[in-house]
């Protein structure tokens, strides 16, 4: 169960190597994400989340934009805090929708994931 972003980009190298050695790999990921896309080297088990790609992208790019905005320390701190709070809420929602997805959890249990 990878985390999107740089963690996933690093993990892809490892998964490709394991696949070349004959391992069967199953990746569990939310349907809406930045970089986790299916390849021939592993099986993807996707699950739905309550936000769109546009919403995820918007939060991400707004955080980057806010990072470079000028302002007092307090203004920058509050913008950063608000952005981190929003992204944390998205990540928590993603985790919640994985754990409460009965069909996917049943599949994982039955396959000894």
What size, in residues, is the chain? 113
Q: Is the pLDDT of residue 101 over 90?
A: yes
How many folded domains does the chain comprise?
1
Domain of 78 in residue numbering reads as: 6-111
Residue 29 within a domain: yes
Residue 37 within a domain: yes
Neighbouring C-beta atoms of residue 27, cutoff 10 Å: 20
Residue 87 within a domain: yes
pLDDT of the residue at 1: 63
Q: Is the pLDDT of residue 103 over 80?
A: yes
pLDDT of the residue at 112: 86
Residue 1 within a domain: no
Residue 67 within a domain: yes
pLDDT tens-digit series, residues 1-60: 657 777 888 888 899 999 999 999 999 999 999 989 888 999 999 999 999 999 999 999
pLDDT band at 74 (very low <50, low <70, confident <90, very high): very high
Nearest CA-CA partner of 35 in 66, 59, 12:
12
Strands (E), 7-95: 26-30, 43-47
Residue 76 within a domain: yes
């Amino acid at each position: 169960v990878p985390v999107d972003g740089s963690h996933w980009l690093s993990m892809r190298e490892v998964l490709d190597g394991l696949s070349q050695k004959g391992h069967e790999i199953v990746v569990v990921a939310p349907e809406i994400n930045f970089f986790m896309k299916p390849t021939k080297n592993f099986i993807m088990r996707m699950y739905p989340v309550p936000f769109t790609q546009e919403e995820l992208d918007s939060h991400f790019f707004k955080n980057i934009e806010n990072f470079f905005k000028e302002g007092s320390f307090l203004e920058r701190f509050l913008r950063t805090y608000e952005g981190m709070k929003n992204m944390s809420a998205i990540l928590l929602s993603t985790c919640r929708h994985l754990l409460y997805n009965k069909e996917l959890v049943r599949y994982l249990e039955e396959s000894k994931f």
